[in-house]
Structure 1
């Protein structure tokens, strides 16, 4: 049984690229990429020279570029095992979410500082 391993190499001009290793010699890995349950078209898997693995190219579909967080799942088509994912984060929704998270972290930090100071006063 093949144990595929996926390593991201880069993302440029709307194309995500990675290196697939671990395929049995002479086999061509079958990869599926989905976004919100829909198959992403034009995904390519190309063997590299000297049996160093396969190059995976995933064009980012336009519908995946939108406000909020979008995830594309990369899986081995033969086993349905997830090999990796591509996460895109953009837009105003992100800014609001991040501000809320930072505010929550600040509030927790203030609470911890007060508790620590109280503890120091009580134990000294």
Structure 2
């Protein structure tokens, strides 16, 4: 179904939610959810006040260390409408901490250079 657009509205309580636009007719298209090239239980689609809402309950057995990417697609054409990724694990924590340490070091260097500049220009 050409012209479909799925816009994320929120991710809360393990449920990804979005609004589906471009639906022609009264029946919603069939959507698929996939993870690691495996098709999972499809998203729930409901209509409220002339809008189509899509809800995807994230399967808890698919949550693991690293990056887990989920893809929501239109079943008939295979067109990807949306995707989301979950990131977790100690490797990411170390990576984020090293980035913060680097930023702190750069900020300290800039503060010293700025102070030196202020002293020299007075």
Q: What corresponds to 1:22 in structure 2?
A: 22
The aligned runs of 1:37-56 (5 Å cut-off) are 37-39=37-39, 41-53=40-52, 55-56=53-54
Aligned mate of 1:103, from 95, 101, 104: 101
Output the TM-score relative to the length of structure 1. Answer: 0.71
Instruction: Decide whether the 8 Å contact of 1:4 with 1:20 is kept in 2.
Output: yes
Q: Is the 8 A contact 2:6 2:18 kept in 1?
A: no
**Residues of 2 paired with 1:38 and 1:116: CA distance?**
54
TM-score, scaled relative to structure 2: 0.72
- The residue number in structure 1 matching 2:9 is 8
CA RMSD of aligned residues (A): 2.7
CA distance, structure 2, for counterparts of residue 123 and residue 109 of structure 1: 21
Structure 1: runs of 5 or more not aligned? none
Q: How many residues align?
A: 120
CA contact (8 A) 2:33 2:43 kept: no
